[in-house]
Structure 1
Amino acid sequence: MMKFRYLLMVLFISSSLFSSTINELRNDNNYLSGYGEAESYEQANKKALQDLISQISVQVEANFTDMYEEKNGTLTEFTQSIVHTYSNTTLKNVQSKVDERSKPGKVIVLRYIEKDNLTDLFAARKRKIIDYTKTAIKAEQELRIGDALKNYYWALLLLRSHPDNNNIECSFEDERDFTLITALPDRIEKIFSFLSFDISGNYYDPTDEKRTVKLDVKCNDQNVQNLDFSYYTGDNWSRNVTVKEGIGMVEFYDEKAKSIKDIYLKIEYKYFNRIFDNEIRDVKEDTNHPEFSSSRMKVYSEKQFPEKKISANLQVEIAPANENIDKEIYEGIIKEILVAIDKKEDEKIKHLFTLKGYETFQKIIKYGNATLTDENFSLYTTKVNENVIVRPIPMLFSFPENDRQFIEKLSFIFNEEQKIESITFTLSEKAISDILDKNEKWGTLN
């Protein structure tokens, strides 16, 4: 009996100590804390985090005055929505106290942080803002404009969720430090101003009532390596088209295809369909997003082009080879295949492939709804052992259930009998050159 009374006394004292510790922390002006009480730990912890968010929001609210746009909510609600974007990452690392004894059937959770350490709470996000900015700078230098816009914009979203948003700086290529709250929008606007879209091909197929327009896409007069855009079809906006090495394609059908004057474009810069970062996702869902009206452009169609199919005057030229390769034979085969692709006459070229090669053709070309991008093809050959590789053959792909169209360059691989045994996506010229320079057994580039 004495042992039982002793046990009750110990439990009572322990419970009181837990309760006392939690109450002391809640009343300590050196801490910010969030209190949660529920039947399970998960529910109590969620309430405690939400309460802590409210307390932190009070501390940093003044920092977001410039970001707040009065619509349906208050500045306090706006600030809380921003601080909430930290709840799935940083806030999980703040300290906690759990009391499961003082109230039978209830769990009490206290999440707390020292006020002096509040700055540390936002340090990780600041580092990520800088990292996204530097990644964007590198992408812009390499003319990967789509990657540059995406990373500049994501850095801007995170920056607008940081309480020190007016003071965070980063050095750019000239090694000067710029305040990002003004520098990031400026970089995005400048990229839009440097972009140019020029029509270099305009082909009309009266049988299918389809018009294909080839665009040369440049930034500061240099070929853009990647970029996504959509265009107005006459009824709606298209799915995204991905620019590859300075080439973009647009297609029109039916009445709109018969005569085309101006082409209206929307440049992608948010890339919300490619978010992999939970912090970006949280900020996207819980805060407003800056818009850039200069992302909309118009391409003027002043030059007159002949009304013809691409295959009507298709030219294939293979650069002279140093090896014993009869380039005329391969020029003729490639031209026959490209004409058949444009006319959708696959069966007529089946004899040019091995069984496996034709299966690959069906999977890549037919299933991918591949179309030609030009009427002039300047190609090269590479000989690897007894195989001859003809490349690069650019095509526009529109795979089913894909949210974008994209251009890729193909390599056709011929066996000893000059039949195509495989089709692959082509490495960049730089990558191929690096491989051949490092190891001659891969073959000879011609």
Structure 2
Amino acid sequence: MVVASAQSISEIKRDKDYIWGEGKGVTLTQADNEALNDLITQISVTVESRYSKIDENVIAGGNVDTQSSFRAVLQTYSNATLQNTERFVISNEPDAHVFRFVKKVDIDRIFASRKAKVNDMVSFALRAQRECKIDEALRNFYWAYCLLQSLPSSHEVTYDNNGESCLLITWIPEQIRKIFSLIKISKQPSSENCVDGMLVLNISYDGKPVSSFDYTYFDGMDWSNIYSAKDGLGVIELLPGMAADNLQIRCEYEFAGEAHTDKEIESVVKVMKGTAFRDAYIWVRSVPSKETSVASAGNMTVEPELNANSTSDVETSGVTFIEGDDAEPYEEKMNRILLAVRDKNYDNVRNLFTDQGWVMFEKLLAYGQARLINTPRLCFIAADNKVICRSVPMSFSFRNNNRKFVEDVVFTFDEKKRIESLAFGLGQEAMEDILYHSVWEEKSRIFLMSFLENYKTAYALKRLDYIRDIFDDNAVIITGAVTQRVTGDVEMNRYRNNRYVRYNRQTKDQYLRNLDRCFRSNEFINIRFGNNDVVKAGTGGELYGIQIKQDYYSTNYGDQGYLFLMVDLNDPERPVIKVRTWQPEKDPDFGLYDIGMF
């Protein structure tokens, strides 16, 4: 490493246009951290006048004055933007000496990227709000608000909301409170609302079922772990002696347990005091019982979902549903399975499954202490010589984790009316994104939906062999965020020869080895797909490119990002993934990966 000249450093120190800091240590890392800390101190003096009441927003670890508050906030930049300041190495290890500097006119650039991130998160929140993804909306609004308070002149930052200039320091809290005011939570009618000690909730936002929503509830002694509602359905687990009335829900909005997925947000959340919203506490309403065609939970009798209200959906989607006498054999088998799950007596239903289906059934029952949460209203969809049963709502909880999930379980019958596979269903929005593509053949839409459900379920149930089978041996597998041009053997697979391949591309074997380690180190993995955009390739038959907003949860890790899959469904029994990419956010140069890039 080249050692900087004493003359150039002296010139910078004398130049009033620069701010600088220096540090010493046994290692370069230690010396560099000291230099950054020194630089932060100097920057805090420069920008002090641009912060308003910063000490009121910073967590007090003792006596906190304004200067120490500046330092605490500016420290949150050290892991990101400040790494881009200029650096001279005066001497190397073991007597390392590092000099950091930045032009005063460039200080605003240090804050510009965070301001842009605030605006991006507000945009994400507004989109999620429109899509009834209340967990995403609240998370992005609240984290954006935390980041906003760490900016100089935070009281002047605005957001262009469809031509309206919104002052974010007051507008974001207003939006959060508005969301709370539009959330309604009620118990389902008594004939359906309690199975296996669980109270089933209907959760809506602005009159529509929530797509996703996180909450806790008060059990009389303490607040529960976090529960995740899906498609308007949530649960409360009633403890012995716990009254089913006067129940209070707290909407999750801080998402402190997920902040580690973004180091910048994590550092800010640790420093800022945060904001309490009284409106986040909502009482659960009781809804009078009414007549229902669904029998009591004790009988576990199911009926087809289809009714007069769903006829238009069938016609719109062009999907063939099985009804009446044709549905009876499947209803009878599902009744037996639901009773077996409720009573935890499975031997009598073994003959209803293929060997593979039974293995998946056992894995699903072992996944997070699976429990039925409601008497399901099922529908049956014809798919060539198979029948898909949608869907059985179940809850999943884990001993070593504070999250509980609601999932819809989908059963697939083979031509002999045996269950050959099970999967966690897509959310309502993601499902409709596919089913209502009326320009595609019906079976293509159904197979595409089934593929996505099987894909995400394979990760949850840790089906490494299945994942190995569906990836092409030469699949392009890309993770990370930095784009670079890759050169290589001209005989490489054609999908590899493109300018969007990133430095952290993995081979199939590398990906599977990493995935195996991930499976072994996590008690659970849960993947949720949000909105998706699907494009069919112009050539190649049933070749599709799928862009998906993905939320990934596991025992010791979580993230949100964008998944892209290019999958060959020409043989629906053997789907083949040609390309899999993941990116945490849209690339500033090209946005999201799509099928046109490969």
- TM-score exceeds 0.5: yes
Q: Max radius of gyration: which structure? A: 1
1:166 is aligned to 155
Alignment of 1:75-224 (within 5 A): 75-100=66-91, 106-172=95-161, 174-202=162-190, 211-224=197-210
Distance 2:378 2:287 in 1: 30
Equivalent residue in structure 2 for 1:49, among 33, 36, 44: 36
AA in 2 matched with 1:224: V
The answer to whether the 8 Å contact 1:373/1:395 transfers is yes
Higher relative contact order (CA 8 A, sep 6+): 1
Between Structure 1 and Structure 2, the one with more helix by share is 1
Q: State the Cα distance separating 1:334 from its structure 2 match.
A: 1.1
AA in 1 matched with 2:213: L
Structure 1 pair 40–251 and aligned structure 2 pair: CA distance change class (3 A): closer
Distance 2:322 2:191 in 1: 36
How many residues are matched?
422
Distance 2:321 2:176 in 1: 46
1:386 is aligned to 385
Structure 1 pair 406–246 and aligned structure 2 pair: CA distance change class (3 A): same
Moved more, 65-74 or 277-286: 65-74
Equivalent residue in structure 2 for 1:290, among 270, 275, 281: 275
**With structure 2 as the length reference, what TM-score do the two structures score?**
0.65
2:535 is aligned to none
Distance 1:444 1:121 in 2: 49
Equivalent residue in structure 2 for 1:311, among 298, 311, 316: 298
2:555 is aligned to none
Residues 336-392 of structure 1, C-alpha deviation per residue, up to 9 Å, x if partnerless? 2112222222222222212221221111134333323323x3322222222111112
The answer to whether the 8 Å contact 1:357/1:421 transfers is yes
Distance 1:48 1:255 in 2: 60
Moved more, 432-441 or 150-159: 432-441
2:545 is aligned to none
1:11 is aligned to none
1:279 is aligned to 264
User: What are the ranges of 5 or more consecutive residues in structure 2 without an aligned counterpart?
Assistant: 308-319, 448-598
**With structure 1 as the length reference, what TM-score do the two structures score?**
0.86
Please state whether the residue corresponding to 2:64 is helix, strand or coil.
coil
AA in 2 matched with 1:214: V
Does residue 263 (structure 1) correspond to residue 274 (structure 2)? The answer is no
Distance 2:434 2:87 in 1: 55
AA in 2 matched with 1:97: F
1:439 is aligned to 441
Equivalent residue in structure 2 for 1:73, among 64, 67, 70: 64
Residues 261-318 of structure 1, C-alpha deviation per residue, up to 9 Å, x if partnerless? 2112111111122232111011122332222222122224475799x97234633225
Give the CA RMSD over aligned residues: 3.0
AA in 2 matched with 1:341: V
Equivalent residue in structure 2 for 1:240, among 226, 229, 245: 226
Structure 1 pair 309–79 and aligned structure 2 pair: CA distance change class (3 A): farther
AA in 2 matched with 1:297: I
2:409 is aligned to 410
Distance 2:249 2:154 in 1: 32
Does residue 332 (structure 1) correspond to residue 318 (structure 2)? The answer is no
Q: State the Cα distance separating 1:406 from its structure 2 match.
A: 1.6
The answer to whether the 8 Å contact 1:318/1:327 transfers is no
Residues 8-32 of structure 1, C-alpha deviation per residue, up to 9 Å, x if partnerless? xxxxxx99x9223323322322111
The answer to whether the 8 Å contact 1:340/1:349 transfers is yes
Distance 1:205 1:444 in 2: 31
Distance 1:205 1:142 in 2: 26
Distance 1:251 1:212 in 2: 4
Structure 1 pair 238–323 and aligned structure 2 pair: CA distance change class (3 A): closer
The answer to whether the 8 Å contact 1:384/1:443 transfers is no
Please state whether the residue corresponding to 1:253 is helix, strand or coil.
coil
Distance 1:435 1:357 in 2: 29
AA in 1 matched with 2:284: V
Residues 232-280 of structure 1, C-alpha deviation per residue, up to 9 Å, x if partnerless? 2233322111111111111112222xx4221121111111222321110
Identity of paired residues, percent? 29
